[in-house]
A = this chain, B = another copy of it.
Amino acid sequence: MAAAAGVSRSAVSFAFNSPHRISTATRDRILAAAHEIGYVPNTLARMLQAGQTQSLGVLLPQSLAKIMENPYYARFLMGAGQVCDQEGFTLLLTPPLRESMLKAIPYAAVDGFIVCGLEIDQGEVSELERRRVPFVLVDSDPQENVPSIGVDDRGGAREVVRHLLELGHRRLAVLSIDPGPEKAVRGYRGPLGRRLAGIVDALAQAGMTMADVALAEVPATRTDGYRATRALLADTALTAIVALSDILAFGAMDALHELGVDVPGQVSVTGFDDLTESAWLRPRLTTVRQAIATKGRTAADFLISAIRGEDQHPHQLLSTSLIVRDSSGPAPGH
Protein backbone atom coordinates (compact mmCIF):
# COMPACT_ATOMS: atom_id res chain seq x y z
CA MET A 1 0.00 0.00 0.00
CA ALA A 2 2.72 2.45 1.01
CA ALA A 3 4.41 1.77 -2.30
CA ALA A 4 1.24 2.29 -4.29
CA ALA A 5 0.80 5.77 -2.89
CA GLY A 6 4.50 6.51 -3.05
CA VAL A 7 4.80 7.27 0.64
CA SER A 8 6.05 5.57 3.79
CA ARG A 9 4.07 3.14 5.88
CA SER A 10 3.75 5.72 8.61
CA ALA A 11 2.20 8.21 6.24
CA VAL A 12 -0.45 5.64 5.39
CA SER A 13 -1.09 4.96 9.02
CA PHE A 14 -1.36 8.66 9.78
CA ALA A 15 -3.79 9.11 6.91
CA PHE A 16 -6.11 6.63 8.57
CA ASN A 17 -5.53 7.37 12.25
CA SER A 18 -3.97 10.78 12.82
CA PRO A 19 -5.14 13.08 10.03
CA HIS A 20 -3.64 16.10 11.75
CA ARG A 21 -0.12 14.75 11.56
CA ILE A 22 -0.09 14.87 7.80
CA SER A 23 -0.88 17.40 5.10
CA THR A 24 -4.39 17.36 3.71
CA ALA A 25 -3.04 16.91 0.20
CA THR A 26 -0.95 13.88 1.09
CA ARG A 27 -3.79 12.45 3.07
CA ASP A 28 -6.19 12.75 0.16
CA ARG A 29 -3.66 11.23 -2.16
CA ILE A 30 -3.15 8.28 0.18
CA LEU A 31 -6.83 7.72 0.74
CA ALA A 32 -7.47 7.88 -2.99
CA ALA A 33 -4.73 5.35 -3.65
CA ALA A 34 -6.13 3.15 -0.90
CA HIS A 35 -9.55 3.27 -2.43
CA GLU A 36 -8.03 2.57 -5.84
CA ILE A 37 -6.25 -0.61 -4.88
CA GLY A 38 -8.89 -1.57 -2.31
CA TYR A 39 -6.59 -1.24 0.68
CA VAL A 40 -8.06 -1.25 4.14
CA PRO A 41 -6.12 -1.57 7.41
CA ASN A 42 -6.20 -5.07 8.81
CA THR A 43 -8.45 -5.33 11.86
CA LEU A 44 -6.47 -7.98 13.70
CA ALA A 45 -3.15 -6.24 13.22
CA ARG A 46 -4.62 -3.02 14.58
CA MET A 47 -6.01 -4.82 17.58
CA LEU A 48 -2.73 -6.58 18.27
CA GLN A 49 -0.89 -3.31 18.12
CA ALA A 50 -3.47 -1.44 20.18
CA GLY A 51 -3.69 -4.25 22.70
CA GLN A 52 -7.45 -4.02 22.75
CA THR A 53 -10.37 -5.35 20.80
CA GLN A 54 -13.34 -3.25 21.92
CA SER A 55 -15.11 -6.51 22.48
CA LEU A 56 -16.53 -8.28 25.53
CA GLY A 57 -16.62 -12.05 25.64
CA VAL A 58 -19.51 -13.95 27.15
CA LEU A 59 -18.35 -17.37 28.21
CA LEU A 60 -21.41 -19.56 28.09
CA PRO A 61 -22.13 -22.90 29.76
CA GLN A 62 -24.13 -24.32 26.85
CA SER A 63 -24.19 -24.45 23.08
CA LEU A 64 -25.22 -21.28 21.27
CA ALA A 65 -28.34 -23.01 20.04
CA LYS A 66 -29.49 -23.74 23.58
CA ILE A 67 -28.56 -20.32 24.85
CA MET A 68 -30.47 -18.47 22.17
CA GLU A 69 -33.53 -20.62 22.81
CA ASN A 70 -33.58 -19.51 26.41
CA PRO A 71 -35.44 -16.26 27.15
CA TYR A 72 -33.40 -15.89 30.29
CA TYR A 73 -30.22 -15.42 28.30
CA ALA A 74 -31.93 -13.16 25.81
CA ARG A 75 -32.75 -10.86 28.67
CA PHE A 76 -29.32 -11.14 30.28
CA LEU A 77 -27.63 -10.34 26.98
CA MET A 78 -30.02 -7.46 26.52
CA GLY A 79 -28.71 -5.93 29.73
CA ALA A 80 -25.08 -6.55 28.89
CA GLY A 81 -25.78 -5.34 25.37
CA GLN A 82 -27.14 -2.06 26.64
CA VAL A 83 -23.80 -1.21 28.20
CA CYS A 84 -21.92 -2.40 25.13
CA ASP A 85 -24.10 -0.21 22.92
CA GLN A 86 -23.27 2.74 25.08
CA GLU A 87 -19.55 2.13 25.24
CA GLY A 88 -19.09 0.97 21.67
CA PHE A 89 -18.19 -2.61 22.51
CA THR A 90 -19.19 -5.69 20.56
CA LEU A 91 -20.24 -8.93 22.22
CA LEU A 92 -18.52 -12.22 21.46
CA LEU A 93 -20.65 -15.22 22.30
CA THR A 94 -18.33 -18.03 23.29
CA PRO A 95 -19.92 -21.42 23.87
CA PRO A 96 -17.98 -24.39 25.22
CA LEU A 97 -15.48 -25.88 22.80
CA ARG A 98 -15.68 -29.65 22.79
CA GLU A 99 -17.85 -29.52 25.92
CA SER A 100 -15.34 -27.36 27.73
CA MET A 101 -15.61 -23.71 28.68
CA LEU A 102 -11.92 -23.79 29.49
CA LYS A 103 -10.96 -24.80 25.97
CA ALA A 104 -12.97 -22.00 24.47
CA ILE A 105 -11.06 -19.25 26.26
CA PRO A 106 -7.91 -19.18 24.08
CA TYR A 107 -10.00 -18.60 20.95
CA ALA A 108 -11.77 -15.50 22.16
CA ALA A 109 -10.02 -12.27 21.31
CA VAL A 110 -11.68 -9.98 23.82
CA ASP A 111 -10.84 -7.37 26.44
CA GLY A 112 -12.73 -9.14 29.21
CA PHE A 113 -15.01 -12.04 29.99
CA ILE A 114 -18.45 -12.35 31.48
CA VAL A 115 -18.53 -15.93 32.72
CA CYS A 116 -22.06 -17.30 32.85
CA GLY A 117 -23.29 -20.21 34.88
CA LEU A 118 -19.96 -21.74 35.78
CA GLU A 119 -21.03 -24.34 38.31
CA ILE A 120 -17.90 -26.39 38.80
CA ASP A 121 -14.64 -24.60 38.15
CA GLN A 122 -12.50 -26.83 35.99
CA GLY A 123 -9.66 -24.37 35.86
CA GLU A 124 -11.50 -21.62 34.05
CA VAL A 125 -10.80 -19.11 36.79
CA SER A 126 -7.08 -19.75 36.91
CA GLU A 127 -6.84 -19.73 33.12
CA LEU A 128 -8.50 -16.33 33.11
CA GLU A 129 -6.20 -15.10 35.85
CA ARG A 130 -3.17 -16.34 33.98
CA ARG A 131 -4.25 -14.38 30.95
CA ARG A 132 -4.53 -11.28 33.09
CA VAL A 133 -7.79 -10.46 31.40
CA PRO A 134 -10.55 -8.92 33.50
CA PHE A 135 -13.51 -11.18 34.13
CA VAL A 136 -16.56 -11.54 36.30
CA LEU A 137 -18.47 -14.65 37.32
CA VAL A 138 -22.24 -14.53 37.06
CA ASP A 139 -24.42 -16.79 39.20
CA SER A 140 -21.56 -18.97 40.36
CA ASP A 141 -20.99 -19.97 43.94
CA PRO A 142 -18.82 -17.06 45.14
CA GLN A 143 -15.09 -17.67 45.51
CA GLU A 144 -12.62 -15.72 47.56
CA ASN A 145 -10.99 -12.90 45.58
CA VAL A 146 -12.92 -13.61 42.40
CA PRO A 147 -15.25 -10.90 41.14
CA SER A 148 -18.79 -12.17 40.94
CA ILE A 149 -22.37 -11.10 40.52
CA GLY A 150 -25.35 -13.04 41.69
CA VAL A 151 -28.86 -12.74 42.98
CA ASP A 152 -30.46 -13.81 46.21
CA ASP A 153 -31.77 -17.10 44.89
CA ARG A 154 -32.15 -18.59 48.30
CA GLY A 155 -34.16 -15.72 49.71
CA GLY A 156 -36.41 -15.67 46.67
CA ALA A 157 -37.18 -19.36 46.85
CA ARG A 158 -37.80 -19.11 50.57
CA GLU A 159 -40.26 -16.29 50.06
CA VAL A 160 -42.30 -17.92 47.36
CA VAL A 161 -42.65 -21.18 49.25
CA ARG A 162 -43.57 -19.30 52.38
CA HIS A 163 -46.21 -17.49 50.34
CA LEU A 164 -47.76 -20.81 49.33
CA LEU A 165 -47.57 -22.21 52.82
CA GLU A 166 -49.34 -19.13 54.14
CA LEU A 167 -52.06 -19.71 51.58
CA GLY A 168 -52.59 -23.06 53.25
CA HIS A 169 -50.88 -25.26 50.70
CA ARG A 170 -49.34 -28.42 52.12
CA ARG A 171 -49.36 -30.74 49.14
CA LEU A 172 -46.58 -29.16 47.11
CA ALA A 173 -44.67 -30.31 44.09
CA VAL A 174 -41.33 -28.81 43.16
CA LEU A 175 -40.63 -28.66 39.45
CA SER A 176 -36.87 -28.53 39.43
CA ILE A 177 -34.11 -28.45 36.90
CA ASP A 178 -32.14 -31.58 36.28
CA PRO A 179 -28.65 -30.92 37.69
CA GLY A 180 -27.06 -33.56 35.48
CA PRO A 181 -24.73 -36.35 36.51
CA GLU A 182 -22.46 -34.02 38.49
CA LYS A 183 -25.01 -33.85 41.26
CA ALA A 184 -24.28 -37.35 42.48
CA VAL A 185 -20.65 -36.37 42.99
CA ARG A 186 -20.87 -32.84 44.24
CA GLY A 187 -24.44 -32.23 45.34
CA TYR A 188 -26.51 -29.29 44.19
CA ARG A 189 -24.59 -26.16 43.26
CA GLY A 190 -25.09 -22.72 41.84
CA PRO A 191 -28.50 -21.11 41.55
CA LEU A 192 -30.31 -24.44 41.65
CA GLY A 193 -28.62 -25.40 44.89
CA ARG A 194 -29.43 -22.05 46.44
CA ARG A 195 -33.06 -22.19 45.36
CA LEU A 196 -33.48 -25.65 46.80
CA ALA A 197 -31.88 -24.44 50.01
CA GLY A 198 -34.44 -21.64 50.14
CA ILE A 199 -37.24 -24.14 49.75
CA VAL A 200 -35.82 -26.22 52.58
CA ASP A 201 -35.67 -23.08 54.75
CA ALA A 202 -39.32 -22.30 54.19
CA LEU A 203 -40.46 -25.87 54.66
CA ALA A 204 -38.56 -26.09 57.92
CA GLN A 205 -40.50 -23.16 59.31
CA ALA A 206 -43.67 -25.14 58.70
CA GLY A 207 -42.16 -28.25 60.24
CA MET A 208 -41.75 -29.90 56.87
CA THR A 209 -38.86 -31.32 54.88
CA MET A 210 -38.19 -32.11 51.24
CA ALA A 211 -39.53 -35.59 51.97
CA ASP A 212 -42.98 -34.00 52.33
CA VAL A 213 -43.06 -32.59 48.82
CA ALA A 214 -43.05 -34.18 45.40
CA LEU A 215 -39.93 -33.43 43.36
CA ALA A 216 -39.56 -33.67 39.59
CA GLU A 217 -36.23 -32.93 37.98
CA VAL A 218 -36.37 -32.21 34.27
CA PRO A 219 -34.48 -30.33 31.58
CA ALA A 220 -35.39 -26.67 31.58
CA THR A 221 -37.75 -26.40 28.60
CA ARG A 222 -41.42 -25.55 28.43
CA THR A 223 -42.26 -28.94 27.01
CA ASP A 224 -40.46 -30.63 29.88
CA GLY A 225 -42.47 -28.58 32.33
CA TYR A 226 -45.62 -29.62 30.54
CA ARG A 227 -44.79 -33.30 30.58
CA ALA A 228 -43.57 -33.36 34.14
CA THR A 229 -46.74 -31.67 35.30
CA ARG A 230 -48.92 -34.21 33.54
CA ALA A 231 -46.96 -36.99 35.18
CA LEU A 232 -47.10 -35.27 38.56
CA LEU A 233 -50.87 -34.80 38.41
CA ALA A 234 -51.40 -38.42 37.50
CA ASP A 235 -49.53 -39.49 40.63
CA THR A 236 -50.29 -36.97 43.29
CA ALA A 237 -53.15 -34.94 44.67
CA LEU A 238 -51.25 -31.68 44.87
CA THR A 239 -52.50 -28.16 45.36
CA ALA A 240 -49.45 -26.15 44.38
CA ILE A 241 -46.56 -26.38 41.94
CA VAL A 242 -43.35 -24.53 42.70
CA ALA A 243 -41.44 -24.25 39.44
CA LEU A 244 -37.79 -23.34 39.75
CA SER A 245 -37.91 -21.34 36.54
CA ASP A 246 -40.66 -19.44 34.73
CA ILE A 247 -40.24 -21.54 31.63
CA LEU A 248 -41.08 -24.67 33.58
CA ALA A 249 -44.04 -22.82 35.09
CA PHE A 250 -45.28 -22.00 31.58
CA GLY A 251 -45.20 -25.68 30.76
CA ALA A 252 -47.04 -26.50 33.97
CA MET A 253 -49.75 -23.99 33.10
CA ASP A 254 -50.06 -25.50 29.64
CA ALA A 255 -50.69 -28.92 31.16
CA LEU A 256 -53.15 -27.62 33.74
CA HIS A 257 -55.01 -25.67 31.09
CA GLU A 258 -55.22 -28.71 28.88
CA LEU A 259 -56.51 -30.89 31.71
CA GLY A 260 -59.11 -28.31 32.63
CA VAL A 261 -57.65 -27.77 36.09
CA ASP A 262 -58.47 -24.32 37.40
CA VAL A 263 -55.51 -22.10 38.30
CA PRO A 264 -55.40 -20.98 41.06
CA GLY A 265 -58.75 -22.42 42.17
CA GLN A 266 -57.61 -26.02 42.25
CA VAL A 267 -53.87 -25.71 41.83
CA SER A 268 -51.56 -22.75 42.39
CA VAL A 269 -48.46 -22.30 40.23
CA THR A 270 -45.41 -20.20 40.91
CA GLY A 271 -42.32 -19.52 38.82
CA PHE A 272 -38.86 -18.09 39.25
CA ASP A 273 -37.15 -15.34 37.21
CA ASP A 274 -40.05 -13.14 36.14
CA LEU A 275 -39.47 -13.22 32.43
CA THR A 276 -41.29 -10.56 30.44
CA GLU A 277 -43.74 -13.16 29.18
CA SER A 278 -44.85 -14.07 32.70
CA ALA A 279 -46.95 -10.97 32.99
CA TRP A 280 -48.61 -11.75 29.64
CA LEU A 281 -49.58 -15.28 30.65
CA ARG A 282 -53.21 -15.95 31.66
CA PRO A 283 -53.58 -16.23 34.60
CA ARG A 284 -50.65 -13.91 35.12
CA LEU A 285 -47.84 -15.75 36.82
CA THR A 286 -46.89 -15.37 40.47
CA THR A 287 -43.14 -15.58 40.51
CA VAL A 288 -39.86 -14.50 42.04
CA ARG A 289 -38.41 -11.56 40.22
CA GLN A 290 -34.71 -11.37 39.67
CA ALA A 291 -33.37 -8.39 37.79
CA ILE A 292 -31.91 -10.32 34.88
CA ALA A 293 -31.22 -7.35 32.66
CA THR A 294 -29.66 -5.49 35.57
CA LYS A 295 -27.43 -8.45 36.20
CA GLY A 296 -26.23 -8.26 32.61
CA ARG A 297 -25.76 -4.54 32.85
CA THR A 298 -23.88 -4.80 36.12
CA ALA A 299 -21.58 -7.47 34.72
CA ALA A 300 -20.74 -5.45 31.60
CA ASP A 301 -20.31 -2.30 33.65
CA PHE A 302 -17.94 -3.99 36.04
CA LEU A 303 -15.92 -5.41 33.19
CA ILE A 304 -15.56 -2.19 31.28
CA SER A 305 -14.46 -0.39 34.43
CA ALA A 306 -11.95 -3.12 35.11
CA ILE A 307 -10.65 -2.91 31.54
CA ARG A 308 -10.13 0.80 32.04
CA GLY A 309 -8.28 0.06 35.22
CA GLU A 310 -10.86 1.58 37.52
CA ASP A 311 -11.36 -0.25 40.75
CA GLN A 312 -14.75 -1.70 41.42
CA HIS A 313 -16.56 -3.51 44.13
CA PRO A 314 -15.77 -7.11 43.37
CA HIS A 315 -18.87 -8.83 44.73
CA GLN A 316 -22.45 -7.92 44.07
CA LEU A 317 -25.57 -9.63 45.25
CA LEU A 318 -28.78 -8.40 43.68
CA SER A 319 -31.99 -8.87 45.58
CA THR A 320 -34.98 -10.90 44.49
CA SER A 321 -38.59 -10.15 45.22
CA LEU A 322 -41.83 -12.03 45.26
CA ILE A 323 -44.30 -10.86 42.63
CA VAL A 324 -47.76 -12.06 43.54
CA ARG A 325 -50.04 -12.18 40.53
CA ASP A 326 -53.01 -14.36 39.64
CA SER A 327 -51.65 -17.89 39.45
CA SER A 328 -51.49 -18.41 43.20
CA GLY A 329 -54.37 -18.44 45.63
CA PRO A 330 -55.63 -20.11 48.78
CA ALA A 331 -55.39 -23.87 48.93
CA PRO A 332 -58.75 -25.48 48.15
CA GLY A 333 -60.86 -25.59 51.29
CA HIS A 334 -58.56 -23.28 53.19
Contact = CB atoms under 8 A, between A and B. Distances in A.
Interface in A89-108: 90-95, 97-98, 104, 106-108
Interface stretch (A60-68, A163-171, A306-314, A321-329): A60-68
Contacts of A132: 38
Interface in A21-46: 38, 40-45
Contacts of A334: none
Contact of A95 (B68, B80, B90, B106): B90
Given A64-B85, A74-B69, A74-B74, A130 B40 contact: yes
B90 A90 contact: no
Contact of A41 (B54, B97, B106, B108): B106
A71 B73 CA distance: 12
Contact of A78 (B43, B69, B88): B69
A109 interface: yes
Query: For chain A, what secondary structure do more than half of its interface residues adopt (helix, strand, loop), or is it mixed?
Result: helix
Contacts of A262: none
Nearest to A253: B280
A316 interface: no
B92 A38 contact: no
Nearest to A88: B97
Contact of A92 (B55, B82, B254): B55
A82 B55 contact: no
A250 interface: yes
Contact of A68 (B54, B74, B254, B257): B74
A198 interface: no
A108 B90 contact: yes
Nearest to A51: B44
Interface in A214-230: 222
B91 A64 contact: yes
A45 B109 CA distance: 10
Interface of A: 38, 40-45, 47-48, 53-55, 63-65, 67-69, 71, 74-75, 77-82, 84-85, 88, 90-95, 97-98, 104, 106-109, 127, 130-132, 222, 250, 254, 257, 277, 280, 282
5 contacts: A40-B130, A44-B44, A64-B81, A71-B71, A90-B107
